[in-house]
Structure 1
Amino acid sequence: DVDQVRRTARKLGVDVLIGVQGSRLVLVLGRADLPARAGDDVTELAFTEIAKRLEPSFGSGHLVLGPAVPALVDAGQSARAALAGFAVARAWRHAPRPVEADDLLPERALAGDAVAKQTLVDRVYRPLQAHSADLVTTLWSYLDNGRSLEATARELYVHPNTVRYRLKRVSEVIGWDATGPREALILQTALILGSIGTDATRRRGLAGRRPVSPR
């Protein structure tokens, strides 16, 4: 019921563009930045919460929310992320509804989404590498050892509390907690992509190739 969607959006304080594409319902949600008036005490809902309120208007299946963008002219970026997430959402068995497109970054990356690959490298691998090589090494070891503090500590020759402290720093730097199974998948995918894409890795690969002499 498109009219019901518009009424709900109006009550939530957002504008909405609605499109029906075959069996898909596509919404573009927006909100104007109006100057605050004296005495106004209005709490704006996050777009994730708005999507939850609109969820009953959608049919069965996955509901994917693209990231917020600064202006309507940038809505295509959010739409592309949402569509890329929608295409792979079934690969996450217990995906919530709605699910944010950025929460599907591993599946999108495995499906060949270049934006998802770059996002993982930029938001996980590079910040950790720039902060401390110890954080990258500890995260690699922790994930390779089945998220075991003791096994990681033995491999790195440090106390388990040191591993625990470094994992806390990882969470503070990038906002993802490696101790959870879903977030561990996100972080491990980012580490793999970051390692493949570093200049050092590429140089090692080139060094191992034999030069080919023309005949």
Structure 2
Amino acid sequence: MADATSGRRVPKHHGLSAKTLRRLEHASGRLASASVAVMEERLSWFARLPADQRASVLLITQAGAAGFVDWLRDAKEALSLTTEAFREAPAELSRWVSLRQAVGMVRLAIEVFEEQLPEFAANEAERAALIEGILRYGREIAFAAANSYAAAAEARGAWDARLEALVVDGIVRGDAEEAVLSRAAALGWDPAAPATALVGTPTSDDPPAVVFEVRSRAARVGRPVLLSVQGSRLVVVVAGPTDGSVKDREILAKLSVAFAEGPVVAGPTVPTLAEAHHSATEALSGLRAVVGWPGAPRPARSIDLLPERALSGDPEAERLLVEQIARPLEEAGPALLRTVETYLDSGGVLETCARTLFVHPNTVRYRLRKAAELTGRHAAESRDAWVLKVALTVGRLARARGLW
């Protein structure tokens, strides 16, 4: 069939004549305007859009109407033409229109086309072909929009992952607080929320799989997290208290399941994200030293690893042992300090300690309880006895170096 105005051969597709295709092409603008008018009438949110955004929707709809005519002319290239026509439009729309809203607009536009297309058909066969064509074309448009939104979401997700890695890296390295806080806020983190660093080994060499596992566990316990896979190390920052109620203390144990087999160490819970560097530093120090405690719980608290940390050369652990144990015992008086030292030297045998000190065993018991109240460590417990012994040794060394 030849075009009467140009003599160009126009292929006949979808059972439509060249005359019908020309009429559709000339009416594409009117169809687009009618579609936008229906959107303004039926979609309350659409009417609230600024004028420039509504104008953009009109242009997009006009491109869709023109694309429909091209689609009818060349059925073999239908998908590529449709995707090309809408490749940029949904990317722009996604900034201020959700995917659900975009699909709603496509549905209304298709309804308008269905109502008005029959008037362009020369006969019943063309009318049926037009209705079938717009339904198939609408499906292609919806898929193209969904693909574009999905691509935009993936791009945002990749950007968020990079930003999150920068935040966690900044926390670990102790970068400028404001930079870390602003980036964390951009990720939806409340900078005023308490934070706890949790470190261990990732479950696999595939960072996306590790991230998915951690986020799944965090969703189950209802806690926001920031995380980063740093080589063979996984660092997770958990929002909210983790050292109060039983439920709070269980949070870290449940999140530890997302780590590989092996030790997991949690730093202290700090009041805000601005102080999270302290928690991360303590946790990483504990992770380096936890090998010295084969029976360490999972997760182990960095505060419970003070002896191993001190033996591995951590000055902060030495300071804490002196301030929390050695100094309080010495300041409590020579009798209390000597009782603890003698009890430890006697291998934890109460009667032997009492005989060495020439006191009644009940006096030893009383003094040990008093020491436990001061330090949080009871010499009758094997682990606490080890902590007390190391702390007293560290205290003597610090005094000899003039540090105390």
TM-score, normalized by the shorter chain, greater than 0.5: yes
- Tell me the secondary structure at the aligned position of residue 19 of structure 1: strand
Whichever of the two has the greater Rg, that structure is: 2
Q: Does the Cα contact within 8 Å between 1:13 and 1:31 map onto a contact in 2?
A: no
% same residue: 44
1:60 counterpart residue number: 261
1:44-79 alpha-carbon deviations (Å, 9 max, x no partner): 832x42110112111111100111112211111111
- Tell me the secondary structure at the aligned position of residue 45 of structure 1: helix
1:19 counterpart residue number: 228
Partners of 1:143 and 1:44 lie apart in 2 by: 32
Pick 1 or 2: higher relative contact order, CA cutoff 8 A, min separation 6.
Answer: 1
Say yes or no: does 1:96 pair with 2:297: yes
CA shift at 1:4, angstroms?
3.9
1:8 counterpart residue number: 217
Partners of 1:92 and 1:71 lie apart in 2 by: 30
1:70 counterpart residue number: 271
**Closer, same or farther: CA 186–44 of 1 in aligned 2, 3 Å:** closer
Q: 1:45 aligns with which of 244, 247, 267?
A: 247
Q: Does the Cα contact within 8 Å between 2:217 and 2:258 map onto a contact in 1?
A: no
Q: 1:31 aligns with which of 227, 240, 248?
A: 240
2:326 counterpart residue number: 125
- Tell me the secondary structure at the aligned position of residue 14 of structure 1: coil
Q: 1:167 aligns with which of 368, 377, 393?
A: 368
Q: Which moved more, 1:69-78 or 1:106-115?
A: 69-78
- Equivalent pairs, count: 190
Matches within 5 A, 1:141-156: 141-156=342-357
TM-score by length of 1: 0.82
Letter aligned with residue 183 of structure 1: D
Stretches of structure 2 lacking an aligned partner (at least 5 in a row): 1-209
CA shift at 1:11, angstroms?
4.1
Q: Does the Cα contact within 8 Å between 1:89 and 1:104 map onto a contact in 2?
A: yes
Q: Which moved more, 1:67-76 or 1:11-20?
A: 11-20
- Tell me the secondary structure at the aligned position of residue 155 of structure 1: helix
Letter aligned with residue 138 of structure 1: T
CA shift at 1:197, angstroms?
2.0
**Closer, same or farther: CA 156–74 of 1 in aligned 2, 3 Å:** same
Letter aligned with residue 361 of structure 2: P
Partners of 2:328 and 2:222 lie apart in 1 by: 36
Q: Does the Cα contact within 8 Å between 1:12 and 1:45 map onto a contact in 2?
A: no
CA shift at 1:8, angstroms?
3.1
CA shift at 1:7, angstroms?
3.9
Letter aligned with residue 20 of structure 1: V
2:307 counterpart residue number: 106
1:178 counterpart residue number: 379
What root-mean-square deviation, in Å, do the aligned CA atoms of Structure 1 and Structure 2 show? 1.9
Letter aligned with residue 264 of structure 2: L
Q: Does the Cα contact within 8 Å between 1:12 and 1:50 map onto a contact in 2?
A: yes
TM-score by length of 2: 0.45
Q: Does the Cα contact within 8 Å between 1:67 and 1:78 map onto a contact in 2?
A: yes
Bigger share in helix = 2
Partners of 1:150 and 1:55 lie apart in 2 by: 43
